[in-house]
Homo-oligomer: A and B are copies of this chain.
Amino acid sequence: MSHYYTFTADDAVAFARQFGGLADPSGLVAAREVGDGNLNLVFKIFDESGVSRLVVKQALPYVRCVGESWPLTLDRARLEAQTLIEHHRHSPAHTVKIRHFEPALAAMVMDDLSDHRIWRGELIAGRHYPRAAAQLGRYLADALFHTSDFFLHPHEKKRQVAAFTNPEMCEITEDLFFTDPYQEQERNSYPPQLEADAAALRDDLPLHQAVAGLKHRFLSGAEALLHGDIHSGSIFVAEGSLKAIDAEFGYYGPVGFDIGTAIGNLLLNYCGAPGQLGLREAAAAREQRLVDIQTLWHTFQTQFLSLAHEKTRDAALAVPGYAALFLASVWRDAVGFCGTELIRRSVGLSHVADIDTIADEEMRHACLRHAIALGRALVVLAPRIDSVEALIARVRQYG
């Protein structure tokens, strides 16, 4: 990484001109850093009319919010770019297009999505995108099927598993999802009023045993090339359009992890809705989230089964009925992973705006408690929640 330097706005413009693949690169004249994360620089690149034409993203060698004290591999930029390129091959409509990646600079230039908005913000504001849930299900089916053992030759699959080995980013998930929330850990973050709820999580053997099984699946279940962080904050939406971004957690893992993370963030929105919207709007938003979850899963399932029927290359996995059996195990995994997402976003390091931006403190705490209780139930009961309808029934049961 000896050639690495941190981009200025001018560097970002030069990079976009050189690698953006535009017919009129000299028309690119300005850049503005718009990153709200703390791991990367993100520049919008504008033309003379002030129209944003491309995005340049560069990984920083440390976590920005804590200065240079927490170094983080620049190789995550390669993993992000390669994951998005691979997913784009299989789901071009729903994956941001990476136009170029430069390893030495840990930088990539990609399509501008200024006409899109981050889904999480839209969900919080109660703005509904009627096609988003189905598009997300379609994205996950297309990306995950085509990188699974159903479709890839075993040699190619093994090559890819090795190429997408992502130890540092996976370690973040391993710790933040599956370990920290269940023990005393200074990285954990929750209001003191929730101490009893957090303490109960630390003293819950059936919960810990189920979480151990999920962590073990995360560590050892190399089923498909996951996005690895597919929450509503890494999804752009517009009228009739959905695009996945931010795949630096990409690796070969259990299919249920991506499904569970996606559903978990819809449920976090469900939990937060009463604190974000008026009474009637919140009730409507909640019903819509449950419909979204049902649509997401049914679309994923239908598309995965359809691909399995048409395109499975492995003679043994192609047997009638096997893909459906596999999806039943994916579903059980997904319910468990979904539960861990609710818990880690409530008491762990990283929270979600759906709940954290609720102004009323008591309401915010009530929403956090709701997410914790629901998350705990989903993790422990996952083996008995055998359909999306059963999941929705459980969600209603927990308020």
Interface string of A160-180 (1 = CB under 8 A from B): 011001111011001000110
- Complex Cα gap A212–B319 (Å): 7
List, in ascending order, chain B residues with CB within 8 A of A223's CB.
220
**Pairs A-B, 7 closest by C-beta atoms:** A212-B322, A208-B319, A162-B162, A155-B167, A149-B219, A215-B316, A158-B167
Which residue on B lies nearest to A148, using beta carbons?
B220
In contact, B205 and A320 (Cβ under 8 angstroms): yes
Closest to A163 in B: B162
B-side contacts of A219, CB under 8 Å: 149, 154, 157
Contact A154 B170 (CB under 8 A): yes
A353 shortest CB reach to chain B, Å: 27
Q: If the complex has contacts A161-B165, A171-B155, are A316 and B212 also in contact, measured as CB distance less than 8 A?
A: yes
Q: Which of these, B154, B168, B220, B316, contacts A208 with CB under 8 Å?
A: B316
Does A72 sit at the interface, judged by CB under 8 A?
Answer: no
Whole-angstrom distance from the CB of A28 to the nearest CB of chain B? 39
Please measure, in the bound complex, the distance between the C-alpha atom of A326 and the C-alpha atom of B214, giving whole angstroms: 11
Check A167/B154 contact, CB under 8 A, given A149-B216, A325-B209: yes
A373 an interface residue at 8 Å Cβ cutoff? no
The chain B residue with its CB closest to the CB of A182 is B316
Residues of B within 8 A of A182 (CB): 316
What 1/0 mask marks residues of chain A from 223 to 264 whose CB sits below 8 Å from any chain B CB?
100000000000000000000000000000000000000000
Residue of B nearest to A312 (CB): B212
How far apart sit A154 and B218, CA to CA, in the bound complex (Å)?
Answer: 11
Q: Does A317 contact B (CB under 8 A)?
A: yes
Which chain B residue shows the least CB distance to A315? B179
Query: Is residue A50 within 8 Å, beta carbon to beta carbon, of the partner chain?
Result: no
Indicate the size class of the contact surface on chain A.
35 or more
Residue A21 at the chain B interface, CB threshold 8 Å = no
Contacts of A170 in B (CB 8 A): 154, 158
Taking the closest CB of chain B, its distance from the CB of A250, in whole angstroms, is 14
Complex alpha-carbon distance, A157 and B165, angstroms: 11
Instruction: List 6 additional contacts besides A209-B319, A211-B316, A212-B316; criterion CB under 8 Å.
Output: A149-B216, A149-B220, A154-B171, A162-B165, A213-B326, A215-B317
A156 CB to closest chain B CB, in angstroms? 9
Q: How far is the CA of A383 from the CA of B154 in the complex (A)?
A: 26
* Nearest opposing residue in chain B for A149, CB measure: B219
CB neighbours (8 Å) of A222 from chain B are 161, 220-222
Q: Which residues of B contact A320 (CB under 8 A)?
A: 205
How many angstroms between the C-alpha atoms of A166 and B158 in the bound complex?
8
Q: How far, in Å, is A372 (CB) from chain B's closest CB?
A: 18
A183 at the interface (CB under 8 A from B): yes
Chain B residues with Cβ below 8 Å from A71 are: none
Q: Which of B216, B317, B319 contacts A205 (CB 8 A)?
A: B319
Q: Is A216 in contact with B157, judged by CB distance below 8 angstroms?
A: no
Q: For chain A residues 104-157, which have a beta carbon within 8 Å of chain B?
A: 149, 154-155, 157
Task: Say how far A51's CB is from chain B's closest CB, in angstroms.
Answer: 43
| CA gap between A52 and B194 in the complex, in Å | 71
Residues of B close to A212: CB separation below 8 A: 316-317, 319, 322, 325
Known contacts A162-B162, A222-B222; decide if A205 and B321 are in contact (CB<8 Å): yes
